[in-house]
Structure 1
Amino acid sequence: MPDVLVIGGGPAGMAAARAARESGATVTLLESGDDLGGQYWRHLPAQRSDPDEGKWHHGWQRFLDLRAALVADPGCEVVTTAHVWSVDRRDGRPPLVHALVGPPDGGDRTPRTFDPDALVLATGAQERTLPFPGWDLPGVFTAGAAQALAKGERVAVGRRVLVAGAGPFLLTAVASLVRVGAQVVGVVEAADAKRLAKGWATKPWRLAKASHKATELVGYLRVLAANRVPYRTGSAVVAAHGTDRVEAVTVARLTPDWSPVPGTERRIEVDAVCVSHAFVPRTELAISTGCALTEDGSVQVDDRQRTTVPGVLTAGELTGIGGVDLALAEGRIAGAVAAGAEPDARDVKRRAVFREFATRLAAAHGVRPGWRSWVDDDTVVCRCEDVTAGALRSAAELTCSKGLRSLKLTTRAGLGLCQGRTCGRAVEDLLTGVLDPGRTANRPIAAPLRLGELAEHGRTCNREDVP
């Protein structure tokens, strides 16, 4: 009976764990949060449960059923608050996986090492926010942070809020903000109407099997209409203003490549702005494992969700941003294959349908290069280390360097507490011509740990025969 380790307790990881169990494997599922669900099914903790929780989520009953099945299954160990900080590569075998289990701010986390027969990576994605003057002011949030506070704490980030960026996720953030009492003064979408139509309306019959997505869209449009929230396309927040916190933003019309159109600037008073321009796969562990990446930075997989590393599979946003339905289908395929079984043909068909959806998503809302013109030399790009765009450009010019590593060491961009998770892709894009793009996601230490925890780690292991 194969032993499958799944890292990530969101939709893809939960689906992978369930499929692996159905195929006869023993499973360990690691989740860094306090409960399963990931970012998509983020919810109140059990001690503060809400009987109307389902109204905050799509597919809530599916989550409840999946979680109940996994938790009750004696062949599946669910480990929450499990922070994977490192992996050890091994030739021809899945890597050893090192984790610390317990609250991340606690001093008594339990070290564990896992030696699986197969490893499924389902670590999801994180938001990408493009920098602009003033984006480091208090009151500027990512849309995901605003939604997390609304869904996980029932807290509004502000009273008068503007939501901006690109993609349908903006609409989900609006729905959550309205539900917790915020006044959303507008939604600003960077893609223009022509590009949106080209991305979504070309050969619409090919999306027929994903028709429930249209139903979800109609629901969000009803929220906008009911709350009189204006929706503007081909525009962006190009500056935030304030002293101690954000007090207003400047919105400008954009050209098709997202360059601001001079003379179209408009100032809007707000006390919070939520910005999200894209999602990028969280590839730290995949890179440490040795998985090859594609040109867009996602993990390269074959038609069975296998990576280039023997015994390592991946599913969900790691393979490309495509939403929950694609994550669930890929998770089930990866879990079955990890257990040595054939994937269900229905899951393979669903994957094909929602990969088409993912292609449309990128075509309609993908980031365009003109955003760089939003950023003047005084704009802080790396907020942890206060590195400005001017310092980055100057270092590249003065050192004649094309290597991202040397430019990071020279400027300290990406070397702060977040280790480039917030600014990494922006740093790479601003340093045009850099020779080693993607290096900001290469973090051998994938999660913070204390030196004392590192020293103690070697004393605890799941198996006595681990080399």
Structure 2
Amino acid sequence: MTAVLVIGAGPAGLAAARAARARGASVTLLDAADELGGQFWRHLPASRPASNERVLHHGWDTFRDLAETLEFDDGCRILRQASVFAIETRGSGPAEVHIVVGEADGAGRDRLVLRPDAIVVATGAHDRTLPFPGWDLPGVFTGGAAQALAKSERLAVGERVVVAGAGPFLLPVAASLAATGSRVVGVFEANRVPALVRGWLPKPWQLSGAVSKGGELAGYVSGHLRHRIPYRLGRMVVGAHGTDRVEAVTIAAVAPDWTPIPGTEQRIEVDAVCVSHGFTPRLELAIAAGCALTADRFVEVDAGQETSVPGVYAAGEVTGIGGADLALAEGTIAGHVAAGGTLTDAELQRPVRRRTTFTRFAERLDAAHGIRSGWPAVVTDDTIVCRCEEVTYGQLRQTVSSTGSRSLRALKLSTRAGLGICQGRVCGRSVETLLAGCQPDGLLGDPVSTDRRPIAGTIRLGELAAAPTTALPTTSTPSPSIEGTP
């Protein structure tokens, strides 16, 4: 029996686990969270459920079907609060996956080593927020953090809130805030109408399979109208102001490349600001496994979702930011093939079609709402660019000037940017861009990046030194496969 390990229990991971079980594989599904669902289906704990949780999530019935099928299947072992901190490849043999299981900040966690026949990496992505003066003030949240507090805790981040950045994710963030009682005084999308038209309008028939997205958009528009939330294009936050926390933000009009236009500044009194400029894939484990990346730094996969490393598959946001529908399709394909299936199998006809449709959707999403090159013009010398280590942009520029270095590794060690507790997850990509802009020829093309972390998660030295328990992700006796795939 093939043993498949699925890392991540969001849409892609759940779909991969179910598809692998449908092929008769034994499956171990693990996630660092307490509950299944990932960031997309983040929900209230079972101890205090919402009266009608379905209205808080898109595709809630799909989630419940996936989760309940796997939870009641003896052939699928689910490990919650399980963090993978390293993956070691062993030549032609199975990779070793090193895991700790237990409370993230607790003592006495169990350390396991798994040696599966196949691995599906479905680690998702996290918010990317570009730095601006004052973004380190209390009261500045990423869009994902604000939505997580609203969905899983029913907490409002503020009474008067601005939502800003780029991408359609701003709309559900604003909707979640309004549902918790916040007054959203404005949603500000940095891209202008021409960029949105160029991204979304060409060849509209290619998106005929994504009509559900139109329904989602209509729901958000209706909510905006009901709550009287202004939506402005070609505007971005260029500063947050306050002493102990945010008291106001400055919004400015920006050119198509996101360079601020002088004289357009508008100051708005708020007690919170939620900013999101898209998402950054969580690549640490894929890189640790030796997977090749594309030019735009996503995991490279073939038609069966297999990476450059035999037996290692990837699905979801690590292969490209495309939303839950694309993640579900990719996860189904990855799980099916990892368990021994092929692309020509009848079970994959629909997932392959949906992958094509939502890959096109993802391409349009990037074309319409992607980050533009002029954003560093917002950053001043005293702007903190690495919040963990409190490194300013001026310190970055001074270090580059005094050392003449073009090596990211050397500049990180010299400035400590990206070396704090988040290990560059928040600031890494932005620091790379800012450092490259300090040199006429940019940084050296070495293999170092802020996504490369040999130890992918926080682990105590005692846990690292402890003898692990080897636990193969197989069942003691073969289990029958489950019916159907998502």
- Compute the TM-score of the two structures, normalised by the length of structure 2: 0.94
Q: Aligned to 1:368, which of 363, 369, 372?
A: 372
Is this contact kept in 2: 1:94–1:310, CA < 8 A?
A: no
Instruction: Tell me how far apart the structure 2 counterparts of residues 90 and 310 of structure 1 sit (CA, whole Å).
Output: 12
The aligned counterpart of 1:208 is 208
- Alpha-carbon distance between aligned partners in 2 of 1:90 and 1:254, rounded to the nearest angstrom: 51
**Mapped pair 1:381 → 2:385:** yes
Can you list the C-alpha shifts for 1:136-166, whole angstroms capped at 9, x where unaligned?
Answer: 0000000100000000000000000000000
Q: Is the 8 A contact 1:31 1:79 kept in 2?
A: yes
Q: Is the 8 A contact 1:2 1:25 kept in 2?
A: yes
Report deviation, 1:438.
Answer: 6.2
In structure 2, C-alpha distance between the alignment counterparts of 1:239 and 1:47, rounded to whole Å: 40
Give the Cα separation in 2 of the matches to 1:332 and 1:365.
Answer: 27
Which structure would you say has the larger RCO, counting Cα contacts within 8 Å and 6 or more residues apart?
2
Distance 1:124-1:198 versus aligned 2 partners, 3 A rule: same
Residue 459 (structure 1) shift: 3.6
Q: Does 1:267 align with 2:263?
A: no
User: Matches of residues 239-254 of structure 1 in structure 2 within 5 Å?
Assistant: 239-254=239-254
Deviation at 1:51, TM superposition (A): 2.4
Aligned residue among 405, 412, 416 for 1:408:
412
Asked if structure 1 preserves the Cα contact closer than 8 Å seen for 2:33 and 2:80, the reply is yes
Whole-angstrom CA distance in 2 between matches of 1:461 and 1:110: 11
CA separation of 1:94 and 1:368: change in aligned 2, threshold 3 A: farther
| Cross-structure match for 1:285 | 285
1:18 aligns with 2:21: no
AA of the residue aligned to 1:378: D
Question: Distance in 1 between the 2:403 and 2:283 partners?
Answer: 29
The corresponding residue for 2:176 is: 176
Find the residue that maps to 2:41 and give its secondary structure: coil
- Name the CA distance, whole Å, in 2 between partners of 1:93 and 1:342: 22
CA distance in 2, matches of 1:313, 1:174: 34
Distance verdict in 2 for CA 1:93–1:321, change over 3 Å: farther
Report the TM-score, using the length of structure 1 for normalisation.
Answer: 0.98
Distance 2:245 2:25 in 1: 52
More divergent stretch after superposition (445-454 vs 312-321): 445-454
Q: 1:440 aligns with which of 450, 459, 465?
A: 450
Equivalent of residue 461 in structure 1, options 470, 477, 481: 470
How many Å separate the matches in 2 of 1:180 and 1:386?
32
Q: C-alpha distance in 1, partners of 2:362/2:92?
A: 32
The structural deviation recorded for 1:437 is 7.2
Distance 1:261 1:109 in 2: 53
User: How large is the Cα RMSD of the aligned pairs?
Assistant: 1.1
Q: 5+ residue gaps in structure 2?
A: 437-441, 474-486
- Equivalent residues in 2 for 1:101-140 (5 A)? 101-140=101-140
Matched with 2:476 is: none
Q: CA deviation at 1:71?
A: 0.5
The alpha carbon displacement at 1:463 in A equals 4.8
Superposition misfits of 4+ residues, deviation over 3 angstroms: none
- Secondary structure of 2:47's counterpart equals helix
Report the identity percentage: 60
In 2, distance between residues paired with 1:13 and 1:163?
A: 30
1:341-366 deviation per Cα after TM superposition (whole angstroms, max 9, x unaligned) = 12411111110000000000000000
Q: Which residue of 2 aligns with 1:421?
A: 425
Report the AA paired with residue 422 of structure 1.
V
Aligned partner of 1:237 in structure 2 is: 237
Quote how far apart the aligned CAs of 1:92 are: 2.5
Per the alignment, residue 392 of structure 1 pairs with: 396
Give 1:396's aligned amino acid: V
Measure how far apart 1:121 and its partner are.
0.2
